[in-house]
Structures are given as structure tokens and as C-alpha cells.
Amino acid sequence: MAQSAVIFGCDGLALSTMEQAFFSDVKPWAFILFSRNLNTPVQIRKLCRDLRDAVGYYVPILIDQEGGRVARLKGPNWREWAPPLDQMNIVSAKNARRAMVLRYRLIAHELNQLGIDVNCAPMLDIPTSEAHEIIANRCYGTTPDVVSNMGRACAEGLLAGGVLPIIKHIPGHGRGSADSHFELPIVNTSSHTLNLIDFEPFRQLADLPMAMTAHIIYSSIDPNACATVSPKMIDIIRNSIGFDGLLMTDDLSMKALDGSLSERTIASLNAGCDVVLHCNGKMNEMIQIMTEVCLLSGKSKKRAEIAENLRCVPDSFDVKEASKIFASLM
């Protein structure tokens, strides 16, 4: 089936007639849900069914459910979590990995029950002293080894629960002193240091199926374009870091990017991203993006198929027992 190289959001708690017709026509590769789309378990399950019915296949459905400050699902219907770095500061080194696996296995259970099968985690950024607070305690540690180990634990927990992971923000957002939702961060660190530290967790987890780019300029490599739209940076992601999975942009509507949405779409795909991500569900913007989006084909299509085929039935899981063990590790 033909699929467009795009991931879209939707506007509200239920699909409008216009959205159903639009999605049926353009057939995005996946959808992403935000707080505006989430109310009750029954409502979310229906929305997921309707999204899949609109395109006519079991389309991947994404969410940002890191736990902590970035959690689209919140109490009382869903478990509340400490930010990952806060958890790491509490748990002992001996128990840290097991706790991280259980954290994301429990998150995967909640997502799977709703029909959501992709989580935008693990976050492999290594925070530095200049890191913007948008990154800080969402991270897993401050060294490549710890971040790689905990990122792998996160991915294992998600995969065991039938949820695909996305590594982000490749090749590293930890030195960005600005919030890329509102402005373009510029990192002036040497390419040697970036390769040695920032890129390393992504290299260690390059076997995972999907990654999301960073809207950041790394001036020592490409002073003229942020990673999302930089052929030089995408070449590093593919050949130096060794990531050959499905590469998606971060949200195209973020203010770190220049130009119209059409221009951003063209630049991202021409740089080497496989699919573009647009999150806010605004119909006029989605229509603009679709003027430049192509169908998935070639290597991009193969990467998408590999990711989709990794979705599986969750392993046997006792939620109460896992919750008890997790609490005992803290």
C-alpha cells in the first residue's frame, strides 16, 4: 500500500469528517497523539481505531510518554512518574538498570492497552552545564556509558511490552542552550568532542529501528544548517554514528526551523530524512506539507517496513508484581 513519508497529529478527541477524508486520501505513515487528543481509555482506544480505519491499515501511532515533565498521559487514569534523571538520582547504581527496564515496561503496558504502539523514547541526550531546562532532567545521566546503558534498558522495556522505541534527539541535544520549540540552538563544540561524547549513545543504540533528529546547528560540522536539514549531519548520522533505521524529523512546526512548512519539508527530505513529523493537527498546515511530501519508497520504505514488522504481542506481564518490584528498587 502506498504511504506518504509523513507523520501527522490530529486536532482533538475525535476525528472530524474533514480529517477522516484527508487522512484517507494522503495516507500518512503514522500518527502522533498529544494531550489534546487524550481523555479517557475508551475515548483513546476509539480514536486509535478511527485513525487506522481512516487510512485502511494498522498504522503506527506515536506518543511522547517519557514520564516526568514529558508525559501526555497523566493521572488519575495513568501512572505518574518522576523525571528519568530524578529517578536515576534516587535509585542505587546496582538497581538502576532493572528499575529503568521496569519503568518503561509499565509505560508500554499502559500504551499497549490503548492501541498506541510507538513511544518517542529513549532520549539519549547528555546534558551539560549549558543545557536548556527543556532537556535537563529528561535525560538518564551525564556520561555516554550511563546514558547508553539506561537508554538500552528503556528500549528493552518498551519492546517487551509491544511498543517500538524512537531514539532522540540524534545526534544529541544536550549542549543546546535554547529551546528549539522557540529558537534555534547553536552548539560550537568541536567535532572531536561531539563524536567522543554526544554522538556515542546514539552509536551504541544505532541498531534500534527509529530515530528523531535534533533541530540544532553544530557549527564545527555545518554552520549553515541544523541537523534536520543538513546533508552533512545526516551523513554523520548514517555513516559515523551508523544509524540505518527510519529517520524522522522533530516537529516541523517548531520555530528553530526557517522558511515555510513546504520549504522545511523539502529541505528535510532532501537532506536525507525518511519521514517528516508535523504535530499540531492544523489542517491548513498539513495541506501545505502534503504539497511537498513524497510516497515512501526505496530505502525509506524498507526502513519503515522493518520498524513496523518489529511490533509484536507483549510478553507475559504481571502489572501488580512489576509495580511492587519497581517500588522496592527506589
CATH number for the domain spanning 209: value is 3.20.20.300
Dihedral of CA 150/152/68/226: which sign? positive
Q: Are 138 and 123 in contact (CB under 8 A)?
A: yes
**Active-site hit among 179, 181, 235, 244:** 181
Distance of alpha carbon 179 from alpha carbon 266, whole angstroms: 23
Residue 179's pLDDT is 64
pLDDT of amino acid 180: 63
Strands 61-63 and 217-218: unpaired
What is the model's pLDDT at position 182?
63
* HEC assignment per residue over 135-202: CHHHCCCCCHHHHHHHHHHHHHHHHHCCCEECEEEECCCCCCCCCCCCCCCEECCCHHHHHHHHCHHH
Q: Which residues pair with 212 in a beta bridge?
A: 168, 248
Choosing from 250, 251, 274, 278, the catalytic residue is 250
Helix, strand, or coil here: 49? helix
- At 250, give phi and psi (nearest 5°): -70, 175
Amino acid present at 115? G
Nearest to 227 by CA among 207, 209, 202: 202
d(Cα 240, Cα 176) in Å, to the nearest integer?
A: 21
pLDDT at 141: 94
Could you confirm whether 181 is annotated as catalytic? yes
Q: Give 32: exposed, middle or buried? Use CB within 10 Å, 0-12, 13-18, 19+.
A: buried
d(CA 307, CA 62): 13
Residue whose cell numbers read 492544523: 282
Instruction: Give the total number of structural domains in the chain.
Output: 1
pLDDT of amino acid 85 = 93
Q: Which residues constitute the domain of residue 261?
A: 4-329
Q: Are 199 and 241 a contacting pair, CB within 8 Å?
A: yes
Q: What is the mean pLDDT of each run of 10 residues along the chain (330 residues)?
A: 95 98 98 98 98 97 96 95 94 96 98 98 90 81 96 98 97 79 86 97 98 96 96 98 98 89 97 98 97 97 97 93 95
The neighbouring-strand residues paired with 118 are 62, 164
- Per the annotation, the verdict on 250 as an active-site residue is yes
**Cα–Cα distance, 62 to 1 (Å, whole number):** 20
Q: What does the DSSP 8-state code read for residue 270? A: H
